[in-house]
Structure 1
Amino acid sequence: MRKIFAAITLMVLFVLVITGCGTNKEVSQDKGEQNTLSIVTTIFPPYDFASQVAGDKAEITMLLSPGAESHSFEPTPQDIMKIQNCDMFIYVGGEGDAWVDDILASMDTSRMKIIKMIDCVPAVEEELVEGMEPEEEEEGHGEEAEEPEYDEHVWTSPQNAIKITEAISDALCEMDKANEAYYQKNTSDYTEQLTALDKEFKEIVDQSSRKVIVFGDRFPLRYFADEYGLDYYAAFPGCSTETEPSVSTIKFLVDKVNSEKIPVVFYIEFSNHKTADSISEATGAKALLFHSCHNVSQKDRDEGKNYVSIMKENAANLKEALK
């Protein structure tokens, strides 16, 4: 995978060089103008967090198109230019963002504030739980395959969302001291919403006798499950590129749902949810969405859905799953 990203990076940088678009932006403050900060994020969660904090004091761009899957994202020359010319760049970090490190290494980032979300929280390694389908390893990895692979879906815990939001706020306050009070007020208000969300999830779990959830899909909710003391079973790890589980994996999940009388089997956003539907048909459990918030559809974006509203929908479905 790193070889693919490296090839993409080289092609993009070549285009930038021949078009003369690889230089840092001019700072218009020399002309006495009032700049609007430019923030670029790779995916939806930091886009939403930054929007909540920065309000109308920044222009915020998300590279991932609405409805697109982040694990297959490939940057365009225009994307690289946006990163090159921004004041703040926020990305996840980890194996899925290997292309970012290569591109940043090629740029002068001395005037850019860079936030890697996986560094804002205690990261955990991806794990294979009982019954889960392991991902096939690519050939030629050698020793690199033995390096720990960290779960990149750090935002799925509201407590982690608070830590990431505070990191964004601190960076904005440092960059734009004239609006420090504005950012701090927005951060305080948003943190209250996230704290209330965290409390809602804790109450749902505390008031439920069941502590097990089943995903007929990838499982990008490790941080969420750890935060609320939930056990989980799933078809694949969170960053798996596999889509078709083996018969033995499906049988294991069907048996688990039947033996523990689990009422809900989850699928994630942008999934064809065929596996969850199959398990549902075999067991009578209801197939429901649990949204990891990594991206939103164009419809959701047009309707103004955000991290908090989506997670509230998750809370309602979780309550049904744990009853």
Structure 2
Amino acid sequence: MIKRFLTFFLAILLAASLAGCTDSEIADGAVVCSAFPEYDFARQICGDSADVVMLLPCGSEAHDFEPTAKDIKAVAAASLFIYNGGESEVWVERVLLSAGNVRSISLIDCCTSPLYVDGEDGREQDEHIWTSPKNATLMAEKIYNVLCEVFPGKKDVFESNYNALSAKLTALDNACTEMGYRMKGKTVIIGDRNPFGYLARDYGVEMMAAFHGCGHDSEPSAKELVSLIETAKENDADIVFYVDFSGGKIARTVASELENAKTEQLFSCHNVTAEDFMTKSYYDLMMQNISRIIGAEHAAD
């Protein structure tokens, strides 16, 4: 009986917590977010004081997302629409035109020193700004300020929650700084696309990936793959990383060419699984990334 009750109770909690990344009805006046980073910051700042939902379905790839009529309706009825902007969210402009006069903010300008990568239409800004806690701190600050404008009566609650979030992001920034010190002279091998350009630059972590940037190429060129394997051998790499939702095929190929190497996942944080949506935050996932990258340093020693 107790076991059945616990199973039923956990199922209710799961359904409730996944309201932001499923086909559930979205209440009018919600804070609607395009993807996980902005969703996570908004939900932590709002707490129980506002409905916060995410349009991107859990477990899906942001580059492949196309909004439905229900999504457009939700944005039109939102108190605030928060989106990152960039190549993966070209659909936002269409949605805002259809939604009409809705308050919205883009976060991509929170990066004061943008990186540029090769895209389908030439050079474009790397949109993965949240992978650096320095940018994430500015994103959270912008979200907090606009939420206070939209819901002025809830400013005291927002301020308390924002201060707690800010403290976590500061701790994350410090942890990344320490990671940079510990990884000096090491190269992180990523048998995948590399969304961590801002993390690598801001904290001095050398990374080499199978792809340049995060283009839609399905496979790296033979030359790129050989170069990655050679670099991995030169660095005595015991871990080859892959990025969530990619499957890790290329990482396994690279690892197979190394002695006793294994593969391990890093979290890009643009989206999460349904399970992680319920239990983890941006902070949690980034701390896991740090732990795994530092673990690669120990594995190589």
TM-score normalised by the chain length of structure 1: 0.79
C-alpha distance in 2, partners of 1:172/1:37?
A: 12
2:166 partner letter: T
- Assess if the C-alpha contact under 8 Å between 1:54 and 1:186 holds in 2: yes
C-alpha distance in 1, partners of 2:100/2:29?
A: 18
C-alpha distance in 2, partners of 1:177/1:298?
A: 32
Q: 2:59 aligns with which of 56, 67, 79?
A: 67
Q: Which residue of 2 aligns with 1:3?
A: none
C-alpha distance in 2, partners of 1:166/1:209?
A: 31
**3-state DSSP class of the match of 1:289?**
strand
Q: 1:160 aligns with which of 117, 135, 142?
A: 135
**3-state DSSP class of the match of 1:74?**
coil
1:60 partner letter: V
Equivalenced residues, count: 271
Q: Does 1:223 align with 2:198?
A: yes
- Assess if the C-alpha contact under 8 Å between 2:31 and 2:78 holds in 1: yes
Q: 1:299 aligns with which of 263, 275, 280?
A: 275
1:94 partner letter: G
- Assess if the C-alpha contact under 8 Å between 1:123 and 1:151 holds in 2: no
Residues 125-184 of structure 1: CA distance to partner in whole angstroms, max 9, x if unpaired? 3336xxxxxx7x5xxxxxxx35x4110111111111111111110011112221111111
Q: What stretches of structure 1 of length at least 5 have no aligned partner?
A: 1-34, 129-134, 138-144
Q: Which residue of 2 aligns with 1:114?
A: 104
- Assess if the C-alpha contact under 8 Å between 1:173 and 1:179 holds in 2: yes
C-alpha distance in 2, partners of 1:120/1:113?
A: 18
Residues 68-120 of structure 1: CA distance to partner in whole angstroms, max 9, x if unpaired? 011000111001001111011111112221111122134432xx331111012
Q: 2:153 aligns with which of 178, 184, 208?
A: 178
- Assess if the C-alpha contact under 8 Å between 1:220 and 1:237 holds in 2: no
Q: Which residue of 2 aligns with 1:255?
A: 230
Q: Which residue of 1 aligns with 2:97?
A: 105
C-alpha distance in 1, partners of 2:208/2:182?
A: 21
**3-state DSSP class of the match of 1:203?**
helix
Using the aligned pairs only, state the percent identity: 36
C-alpha distance in 1, partners of 2:212/2:156?
A: 41
C-alpha distance in 1, partners of 2:142/2:103?
A: 11
Q: What stretches of structure 2 of length at least 5 have no aligned partner?
A: 1-26
**3-state DSSP class of the match of 1:283?**
coil
Q: Which residue of 1 aligns with 2:23?
A: none
Q: Which residue of 1 aligns with 2:75?
A: 83
1:153 partner letter: H
Q: Which residue of 2 aligns with 1:233?
A: 208
1:211 Cα offset (Å):
3.9
1:262 Cα offset (Å):
2.6
C-alpha distance in 2, partners of 1:235/1:89?
A: 35
User: Which range moves more in the overlay, 256-265 or 150-159?
Assistant: 256-265
Q: Aligned in 2, Cα 1:81/1:60: closer, same or farther, shift over 3 Å? A: same
1:115 partner letter: I
Q: Which residue of 2 aligns with 1:22?
A: none
CA RMSD of aligned residues (A): 1.9
**3-state DSSP class of the match of 2:111?**
coil
Q: Which residue of 1 aligns with 2:116?
A: 126
Q: Which residue of 2 aligns with 1:94?
A: 86
4+ aligned runs moved over 4 Å, structure 1: none
**3-state DSSP class of the match of 2:47?**
helix
- Assess if the C-alpha contact under 8 Å between 1:205 and 1:322 holds in 2: no
Q: Which residue of 1 aligns with 2:258?
A: 283
1:276 Cα offset (Å):
0.4
C-alpha distance in 1, partners of 2:182/2:204?
A: 13
